Amino acid sequence: MRHLLSVVLLALPLAAWAQADPIQTLTEAEAVRLGLARTDLSDLERGTVEAAEANALAAGLLPNPTLGYSRDRNRGTLGSTEETWQISQTFDISGRRGLRREAADRRVDAANAGNTLRRSEITAEIRHRFHETLFKQESVQATKTWTQRFIRVESLVARLAKAGEASGYDRRRLTRERQTAQARLSTEQADLDRAAERLAALIGLPGRAAASVTGVLPPTTPPPLDKALPQLEQRPDLQVLSRRAEAAELEGRAASRGWVPDVTLGVGPKLTDNGITRENGTLVTFSIPLPVFDRQQAGEKRALAEALNARAEYSLTRSRAEGDLRGLHRQVERLTTAASDYRTNAVAESSELLRIAEAAYQGGESTLLELLDAYRGALEAEITALNLEWKAREARIEYDLLTGSVTE
């Protein structure tokens, strides 16, 4: 019974956490902070680096000494016995161990650069999910505004119906339009719910999607291209390839010294007993392997091939990244300008167009279909502006990933 009570008490904090209230508002900076603070991400990064550090430690260690013992008994007339204790150690006189340790250190640097690359990609994904949620949230708000306008239309139709100026067709057409608006609002809300849940799971809060996100959907114009191009050299994926190439070259240099053998020295006491006298002495041994067949030719060739591969991949990635950067810079500039111009010129006129359409319908100068068309036009203008801003933001997030910068 006492054990059961302990289990229940321990489960209470977990249950309370599982039923925690969702976040009310979430900013982009807070979403990125939460996503990068996840313990599983830090564990993954630490494990990757520690594995590379372990390899570096192993590469720099001396081989263990060897302790040997031998006993030789002669069964001749005098029956002598020889006992020998020996400790031997192998020494690297070629410098291969130092080169391999240096190569392993380069792979530690590559592991750290890989962690930086992973964090950059996760940051970009979080930002993408955040602004996707913001885009859906503003789309829902625009659709709600569209549906709320039917209240005003209904009041107009009611007044005209009392005066005998509104037909039964107008009422039925208005009802169907309202149903279409509600269906579209439900669709937009479903898309918002999905985007919010995906964002919550990505930042480590599954089931606790934020009630709303706060931010600005359209991005700012990127800095001049000549300032962004030099930053490509600091991209973590290029750093990974560069460190890999350096490590392979060092390993190739170590393998090229395969013709220099390791030296093994041994020393120990030697005892000789022939039944009459006992003699003590010292045994010293010296041995080297003869690099006749295996001079680590395969290791040298493999290392040179890996270095060649990494250098070529670096060059290809660098060229592709520069092309992507130039293209994204132009895309962000054009989409940002287009979104700003469209919102300024097209969306800003919606209010005046709606006022004119309502006045014309109320004065009998236009039909209900023309009024509803004006309402749909206002909604489509707002949705088009949001789509342009969302596409511009998508391009800016990808641009920031290429340059290693983050803008809100």
Instruction: Judge if 284 and 340 occupy the same domain.
Output: no
pLDDT confidence band for 382 (50 / 70 / 90): very high
Residue with more model confidence, 179 or 276: 179
Say if residues 68 and 86 touch (Cβ distance below 8 Å). Answer: yes
Q: 195-248: per-residue pLDDT in tens?
A: 999 999 999 999 888 889 999 999 998 888 888 888 888 889 999 999 999 999
Please give the tally of structural domains in the chain. Answer: 2
In a domain, 135, yes or no: yes
Q: Read off the pLDDT of each residue in 257-264 and give the average, rounded to a whole number.
A: 88
pLDDT at 16 over 90: no
Instruction: Judge if 144 and 280 occupy the same domain.
Output: no
Instruction: Judge if 189 and 137 occupy the same domain.
Output: yes
Instruction: Judge if 84 and 215 occupy the same domain.
Output: no
Give the range among 79-93, 159-173, 285-299 with minimum mean pLDDT.
159-173
Instruction: Judge if 140 and 203 occupy the same domain.
Output: yes
In a domain, 20, yes or no: no
Q: Which domain holds residue 77?
A: 65-91+263-290
In a domain, 2, yes or no: no
pLDDT of residue 228: 85
CATH of the domain at 117: 1.20.1600.10
Average pLDDT, the chain: 86
Question: With left for phi above 0 and alpha for psi between -120 and 50, is residue 272 left, alpha or beta?
Answer: beta
Q: 324-377: per-residue pLDDT in tens?
A: 999 999 999 999 999 999 999 888 888 888 888 878 877 778 778 888 888 888
pLDDT of residue 324: 92
Rounded (5°) CA angle 288-289-294: 150
User: What are 294-303's contacts with CB under 8 Å, separation 24+?
Assistant: 294/258, 295/258, 295/259, 296/255, 296/256, 296/257, 296/258, 297/255, 297/258, 299/251, 299/255, 299/258, 300/252, 300/255, 300/256, 300/258, 302/255, 303/248, 303/249, 303/251, 303/252, 303/254, 303/255
- Where helices occur in 163-231 by DSSP H, the ranges are 168-202, 225-228
